[in-house]
């Protein structure tokens, strides 16, 4: 057997060194990389929610009434909730919620939505869901590990358009007003059985706090995020700021 050439030994040594460098990074460095990916993911989630919200507000005669937006304690958006059904159906999506504070809309807290159904069904769909949380109790529900819409809080289909009345029974008593947008169609919709849960891997990466901590003290996240994370509260502000309210 011929001895390995100097060039071959050099290439092997270089490859081994590269492997050591790649795998020998400190746990802290790997953790920082993971957090950076989560923060980027969170910014994209906020941007998608902002885009979905902007889309439904572009047509004032069919949009969520601004007076209701201004009265809401918090607003949650779940863009592109996927529903797949084949006898047993299920749906799931990711979203954000922003609380209304004395200084404006707080930066987003991240949530997941999911649910299931049984019956003769087949197909798939993608739907944007919008929730207006109208009182403190509904916001407190989001602080739980599991919050079922229609089970623990009263949910009603929200009215749309400039002239939607604000004194109906549904608006007087509903804790949450709900809307959906699918294939260009937008309307108030009764949402029941969907379960909301905190997405605390994102919340911890962005704020180093859980959803419960953030929602119990919204001032702690007001103005503390940067970049694309602010896209969602900025979009809400454009339609609830008094100077832009045309209703």
Q: 């060194």: which residue's tokens?
A: 17
pLDDT, tens digit (0-9, with 9 covering 90-100), for 96-105? 999 999 889 9
Q: Would you say 69 and 75 are in contact if contact means Cβ atoms under 8 Å apart? A: yes
Of 14-18, 176-180, 218-222, the range with the highest mean pLDDT is 176-180
pLDDT, tens digit (0-9, with 9 covering 90-100), for 115-153? 654 444 344 457 888 999 999 999 999 999 988 887 766
Residue 187 makes CB contacts below 8 A (sequence gap 6+) with 157, 160, 179, 180
Q: What is the mean pLDDT of residues 8-28?
A: 50
Q: Would you say 147 and 195 are in contact if contact means Cβ atoms under 8 Å apart? A: yes
10 Å CB burial of residue 21 (0-12, 13-18, 19+) is: exposed
At 78, list the tokens. Answer: 């779940």
Lowest mean pLDDT among 51-65, 172-186, 192-206: 172-186
Give helix 27-57 / helix 200-207 axis angle, nearest 10°.
110
Q: What is the mean pLDDT of residues 24-36?
A: 63
Q: What is the mean pLDDT of residues 158-186?
A: 72
Rounded to 5 degrees, φ, ψ at 246 are -105, 15
Q: Would you say 132 and 174 are in contact if contact means Cβ atoms under 8 Å apart? A: no
Q: What is the pLDDT of residue 177?
A: 92
pTM of structure: 0.78
Average pLDDT of every residue of the chain: 77
Residue 65 pLDDT exceeds 50: yes
Q: What is the pLDDT of residue 219?
A: 79
Q: Report the 10 Å Cβ neighbour count for 64.
A: 25
Question: d(Cα 138, Cα 1) in Å, to the nearest integer?
Answer: 77
Q: Report the 10 Å Cβ neighbour count for 214.
A: 26
Q: Would you say 72 and 100 are in contact if contact means Cβ atoms under 8 Å apart? A: yes
């Amino acid at each position: 057997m011929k001895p390995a050439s100097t060039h071959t030994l050099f290439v092997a040594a270089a490859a081994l060194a590269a492997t050591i460098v790649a795998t020998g990074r400190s746990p802290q460095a790997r953790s920082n990389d993971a957090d950076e990916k989560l923060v980027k993911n969170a910014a994209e989630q906020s941007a998608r929610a902002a885009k979905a919200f902007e889309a439904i507000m572009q047509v004032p005669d069919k949009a969520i009434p601004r007076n209701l937006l201004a009265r809401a304690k918090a607003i949650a958006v779940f863009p592109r909730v996927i529903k797949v059904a084949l006898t047993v159906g299920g749906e799931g999506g990711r979203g954000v919620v922003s609380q209304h504070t004395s200084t404006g809309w707080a930066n987003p807290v991240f949530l997941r939505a999911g649910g299931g159904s049984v019956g003769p069904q087949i197909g798939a769909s993608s739907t944007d869901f919008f929730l207006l949380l109208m009182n403190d109790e509904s916001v407190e529900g989001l602080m739980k590990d599991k919050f079922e819409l229609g089970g623990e809080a009263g949910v009603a289909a929200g009215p749309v358009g400039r002239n939607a009345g604000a004194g109906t029974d549904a608006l007087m008593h509903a804790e949450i007003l709900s809307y959906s947008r699918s294939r260009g169609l937008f309307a108030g919709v009764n949402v029941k059985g969907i379960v909301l849960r905190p997405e605390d891997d994102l919340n911890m990466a962005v704020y180093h706090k859980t959803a419960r901590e953030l929602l119990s003290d919204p001032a702690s996240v007001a103005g503390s995020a940067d970049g694309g994370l602010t896209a969602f509260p900025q979009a809400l502000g454009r339609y609830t700021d008094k100077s832009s309210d045309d209703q």
